[in-house]
Amino acid sequence: MLKKYLGALAAIGLAACGTLPTSSEYLLRGDGYFKDGKPQQALQAYTRALDLNPDNLEGYASRGSVYFFTGDYDRAEQDFLRVLQANPYQADAYTAYASTLAAKGDFHNALTVLNLAMQLKPNKPEIFFSRAGVYFMLGRYQEAIMDYTSVINLRPAAEVYNARGAAYEKLGQHELAQKDFEAAKSGKMPATLNVYSMID
């Protein structure tokens, strides 16, 4: 009799556990909240995913992205560093980490980190785009133009043409700048480059 009773309790316990959300399910919820413009709910979901599985690197990367887009650069930096400590070959995490450094005004270290990312994925347009932005902020406009051109060759987007046009303007090359601004208005390409698709 006791054996049957314990067996029934175990079955009930397993059934109850089967209905509890997993770390992966919380990640999916977080993604949905973030896409719907609900960053606080996304943060809660990602944090719950990490509570359930502290080794879930995608959870740290995703939560770091939300922190970044909400302006909490210190927490974003912590999450991206956590990913890099566990996987130093994650180019996207280097790019995201560099973006937090740049957002905090640390352009020289951001450039160093982006160069590490470039070594891992030398043809990734998001890395070129991020590095070009850092070059721009450092006043290194010719290098910014070279990186923006690399992005345009790999995956053109209106925002990249606008950014390159701004760099041409800084160099006094108004005709080239105008060509880029016109290309950006053409509607023949996506408006933006998806820089923060973190884990691929």
Asked if residue 57 lies in contact with residue 96, where contact means CB atoms within 8 angstroms, the answer is no
The reported pTM is 0.81
Q: What is the pLDDT of residue 197?
A: 43
Q: What is the pLDDT of residue 158?
A: 96
Assigned domain for 77 exists: no
Assigned domain for 183 exists: yes
Q: Rounded distance, CA 198 to CA 8, Å?
A: 44
Assigned domain for 124 exists: no
pLDDT(187) > 60: yes
Range of the domain at 163: 140-193
Segment 84-103, tens digit of pLDDT: 999 999 999 999 999 999 99
Q: What is the pLDDT of residue 16?
A: 42
Question: Which of 118, 79, 168 has its CA nearest to residue 131?
Answer: 118
Assigned domain for 158 exists: yes
Segment 140-166, tens digit of pLDDT: 999 999 999 999 999 999 999 999 999
Output the domain CATH number for residue 172: 1.25.40
Q: Rounded distance, CA 69 to CA 41, Å?
A: 14
Percent of the chain having pLDDT more than 90?
A: 84
Which tokens is 50 given? Answer: 């990490």
Q: Rounded distance, CA 153 to CA 52, Å?
A: 42
- Mean pLDDT across the chain: 89
Q: Rounded distance, CA 150 to CA 148, Å?
A: 5
More reliable by pLDDT, 62 or 187: 62
Assigned domain for 181 exists: yes
Q: Which residue has the tokens 């973190």?
A: 198
Structural domains in the chain (count): 1
Assigned domain for 22 exists: no
